[in-house]
A and B are shown apart, each in its own frame.
Chain A
Amino acid sequence: MAEPRLPESLIQSLGDQLLPVRRLPPPWVRTLGWLVVVAVIAAGLLAHYGATHMMRRFEAAPDIAMAGVGAVITAVCAAWAAFTLGVPGRSSRWAWLPLPGLLLWVGASGLGCMRDWLGPSAHIAAFHEASDCLIFIISLSVPLSVLLIWLLRRACPLRPVLAAIMIGLASAAASAALLEICHAFAVAATDLLTHAMAVAIVVLVNALMGGRLLQPALK
């Protein structure tokens, strides 16, 4: 059976408009690009606050260091998953990639919190200190999310909300990891709750807004 004429004329007209295109780099290359920006911010914070205080905290409470490593792994994996979900035909199972890092991050933070609860020798965050963390994570997540959204708009995420959730998770995890450089006190229940709330807000806002912003090619 012959194909109808309409696709033929459309194919011809699309052929008329064909221009060479610059191929999208692989997702891991794009992830590295975003991580370079995060690394520059980390270098700036380290230059300002120094590493001594952070290292002393890590030595006193290794679970905080583990939580930081978990946040870094979550950020890398979530960004990689977001860029991969931006390519049509890639499996949505990529969204599971940040899970191990997330478990490490949440688990180690929870352990730190338990330790302080059982033996509260360390300085526990007051409400205003915890709210500083909330502001830090959210305000740093905004530019990191905007950068990821801008980079992903060149791709074509067919599951935009899932990709936006990955963007939110990546930027919130990166912000929480960067916060460790200048965090003034040990992780406690109020602080952990604030971190969790900040991450949830960033992920939710990205899911609500990012989903719409990520599909310029499909409008």
Chain B
Amino acid sequence: MTATLTATHSIGLDIVLSRWARIDSTVSDAAAPIGDTQERQRAAWMAAAQGGDRRAYEQVLAASVPLIRVAARRKGVAVDQLDDVVQETLLTVHRVRHTYDPSRSYDAWLSALAGRRAIDALRSQGRRGSREVHDELAYDMHPDIDDATAATEREQEAQRLHDAIASLPPGQREAIEQLGLKERSLAEASAETGRQTGALKVNLHRALKALRSRFHGES
């Protein structure tokens, strides 16, 4: 009896607070009947995906891409950075898909993740921007690309990249060597390494992310 009462009260409070929270939600298509139906469909797909339904998972992820873009744009992410936010959000959705409660709004859940990834992207851009110098005089005075110093710098850059790749975890290193450096197709790389194509692709994404963050000084 007490447990039932506690549960009822908690659910009641949950509903009140979530309605309040929904006003904050960056995706505001809940009021429109069509949008509502679509949101319910996305929620149903994600619930099925939590149970292992691959088709529903791919459908909900594909349907999430425009929502992620909208959420990222609302946070002020530039158009050329949207793909990065979409990728990061999809990877995050994959990692935390167990936290989605099918009785609640899928769009609010997704938008919160996309908003967080958008802020991460803006912060990283801010950090990069603060290190870059915009000096026209220095640009004009910069020596030609063919001089010896530039050649040395290019060699050093190549060495740094080589070292960075060598420091990646084995799976990621393998993926970037096979798909990036040796330009093999997924099927060839899969045959060569004995790994599934899906695993190779995810490792490639992770390796690129690690390299990006290393060269942009995030790590």
B interface majority secondary structure: helix
CA distance A93 to B19 in the complex (A): 12
Number of interface residues of A (CB under 8 A): 41
Q: Which residue in chain B gives the minimum CB-CB distance to A21?
A: B98
Chain A proximity of B178: nearest CB distance (Å) = 14
Contact A91 to B87, CB < 8 A, known contacts A11-B62, A16-B199, A17-B198:
no
B96 contacts across to A, CB distance below 8 A: 88, 155-156, 217
A27 contacts across to B, CB distance below 8 A: 14
The segment from A1-9, A131-139, A171-179, A202-210 found at the interface with B is: A1-9
Chain B proximity of A161: nearest CB distance (Å) = 13
**Are B83's CB and A93's CB within 8 A?**
no
B105 contacts across to A, CB distance below 8 A: 89
Q: Which positions 8-49 of chain A face chain B at CB distance < 8 Å?
A: 8-24, 26-28, 32
The segment from B30-38, B107-115, B129-137, B165-173 found at the interface with A is: B107-115
**Are A218's CB and B92's CB within 8 A?**
yes
**Are B83's CB and A7's CB within 8 A?**
yes
Tell whether B18 is near chain A: CB-to-CB under 8 Å: yes
CA distance A12 to B55 in the complex (A): 10
CA distance A12 to B101 in the complex (A): 23
A158 contacts across to B, CB distance below 8 A: 112-113, 115-116
CA distance A27 to B14 in the complex (A): 10
Number of interface residues of B (CB under 8 A): 54
A193 contacts across to B, CB distance below 8 A: none
Contact A20 to B51, CB < 8 A, known contacts A12-B198, A14-B94, A89-B105:
yes
Tell whether A212 is near chain B: CB-to-CB under 8 Å: no
Q: Which residue in chain A gives the minimum CB-CB distance to B119?
A: A158
**Are B98's CB and A22's CB within 8 A?**
yes
**Are B57's CB and A10's CB within 8 A?**
no
Tell whether B70 is near chain A: CB-to-CB under 8 Å: no
**Are A89's CB and B92's CB within 8 A?**
no
A91 contacts across to B, CB distance below 8 A: 17-18, 20-21, 24
A90 contacts across to B, CB distance below 8 A: 17-18, 21, 112
CA distance A12 to B50 in the complex (A): 16
Residues of A within 8 A of B (CB): 3-4, 6-24, 26-28, 32, 80, 84, 86-91, 93-94, 154-156, 158, 217-218
Known: A26-B10, A80-B10, A87-B99. 18 other contacts (CB 8 A): A3-B62, A10-B87, A13-B199, A14-B202, A16-B198, A16-B201, A17-B198, A18-B52, A18-B57, A19-B52, A23-B100, A26-B101, A88-B113, A89-B108, A91-B20, A93-B17, A156-B113, A158-B112
Q: Which 6 A-B pairs have the closest CB atoms?
A: A16-B198, A91-B21, A13-B201, A20-B52, A28-B10, A89-B109
